[in-house]
């Protein structure tokens, strides 16, 4: 569970694909369309920076302007992204109302608007637990975008099927997304795509394959990612070595992360690093050291709100701490 959430953190900045001029542009509208496209790009950049309130305001303003200038496709996209900002801010009821507005204007004849609408609709279905429905939506989006030559959006769709589908679908669509990104030279997507594939292999218990995927992901995060992306990519490799029982390499990869987490003020990931290091100490026969790391992990992850977004992982952590305390006679 926790690894899948962390992999989503790594991919979040790529899940917004900016629009390009095409659907409803005409000579008389060129200036207006260019201005609207610039506003959409500003909204996408704010979303990528996780400034969701600013992104929402920019998309809402763009929707108003698109309605004024008669750009149906951009209106569809802007409403869809307003909905998505509400979803990610935990206001899904308002978000659903905005998504319905987007759906009122969405037309298959306008590929940019239709594909953006599908991408957001699928995310609402995913977040509400309707995984089969979400998977079907993302498959529809993939086929549509592939036909319309919207390559980055096709990759996004494949990436999402690799999250929402069955384990078999996750592997197949993860590889499909990787092949699409390589063929289209959209290499910035390859880090998140390899991450997701690694998380699927981890869920299936095939840790050697997970390690290979995480090592591949790391290559691309070091080419295109920021310091946080690189930190999490290195953590994933150390985590995978620990899962495969390779204590020596797990220590080599995890040791430097304590300082890097502090330097980046990455309290949550410092917590996960302590958690993995505790498991390494247990494998190495040092339960007293493991307990020290687990106590630090619990404090850091609790501060990061793990009880709300990963309650099962938190409960397991508490039980593990209690068992070690009991065994130590505390």
Confidence of residue 100 (pLDDT cuts 50, 70, 90): very high
Residue 131 and residue 113: Cα distance in Å, rounded? 23
Whether the pLDDT of residue 250 is over 60: the answer is: yes
Q: Is the pLDDT of residue 221 over 50?
A: yes
Answer whether 0.85 is exceeded by the pTM.
Answer: no
Instruction: Give the confidence band of 43 by pLDDT, cuts at 50, 70, 90.
Output: very high
Candidate from 73-77, 139-143, 245-249, 306-310 with smallest mean pLDDT:
306-310
Given a cut of 80, whether residue 313 has pLDDT beyond it is yes
Rounded Cα distance, 283 and 279, in Å: 6
Mean pLDDT over the full length of the chain? 91
Which letter does DSSP use for residue 187 in this model?
A: G
Helices (H), the chain: 2-11, 30-48, 52-69, 72-88, 92-105, 111-127, 131-147, 151-164, 167-183, 190-204, 207-224, 227-243, 247-254, 257-263, 267-283, 287-303, 306-309, 311-327
Separation of alpha carbons 53 and 36, rounded Å: 19
Q: How confident is the model at residue 328 (pLDDT cuts 50, 70, 90)?
A: confident
When pLDDT is averaged across residues 154-172 and rounded to a whole number, the result is: 93
CATH number for the region 1-128 comes to 1.25.40
Asked if residue 31 has pLDDT above 60, the reply is: yes
Can you give the pLDDT at residue 183?
Answer: 84
Question: Which of 2-11, 101-110, 188-197 bottoms out in mean pLDDT, i.e. has the lowest?
Answer: 2-11
């Amino acid at each position: 569970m926790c690894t899948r959430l962390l992999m989503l953190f790594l991919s979040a900045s790529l899940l917004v694909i900016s629009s390009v001029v095409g659907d409803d542009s005409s000579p008389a509208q060129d200036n207006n369309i260019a201005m609207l496209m610039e506003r959409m790009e500003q909204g996408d950049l704010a979303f990528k920076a996780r400034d969701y309130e600013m992104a929402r305001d920019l998309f809402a303003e763009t929707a108003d302007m698109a309605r004024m200038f008669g750009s149906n496709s951009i209106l569809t996209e802007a409403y869809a992204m307003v909905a998505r900002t509400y979803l990610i801010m935990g206001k899904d009821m308002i978000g659903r109302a905005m998504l319905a507005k987007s759906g009122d204007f969405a037309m298959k004849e306008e590929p940019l608007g239709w594909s953006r609408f599908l991408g957001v609709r699928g995310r609402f279905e995913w977040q509400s637990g309707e995984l089969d429905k979400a998977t079907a939506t993302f498959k529809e989006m993939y086929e549509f975008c592939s036909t319309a030559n919207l390559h980055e959006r096709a990759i996004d769709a494949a990436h999402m099927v690799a999250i929402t589908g069955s384990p078999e679908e996750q592997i197949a669509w993860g590889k499909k997304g990787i092949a699409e990104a390589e063929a289209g030279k959209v290499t910035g997507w390859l880090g998140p795509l390899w991450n997701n594939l690694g998380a699927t292999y981890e869920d299936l218990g095939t840790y050697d394959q997970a390690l290979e995927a995480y090592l591949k992901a790391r290559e691309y995060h070091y080419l295109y990612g920021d310091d946080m992306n690189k930190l999490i990519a290195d953590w994933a490799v150390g985590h995978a070595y620990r899962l495969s029982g390779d204590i020596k390499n797990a220590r080599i990869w995890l040791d430097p992360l304590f300082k890097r987490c502090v330097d980046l003020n990455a309290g949550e990931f410092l917590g996960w690093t302590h958690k993995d290091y505790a498991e390494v100490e247990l494998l190495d026969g040092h339960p007293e050291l493991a307990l020290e790391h687990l106590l630090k992990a619990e404090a850091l992850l609790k501060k990061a709100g793990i009880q709300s977004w990963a309650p099962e992982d938190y409960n397991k952590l508490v039980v593990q701490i209690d068992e070690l305390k009991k065994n130590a006679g505390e």
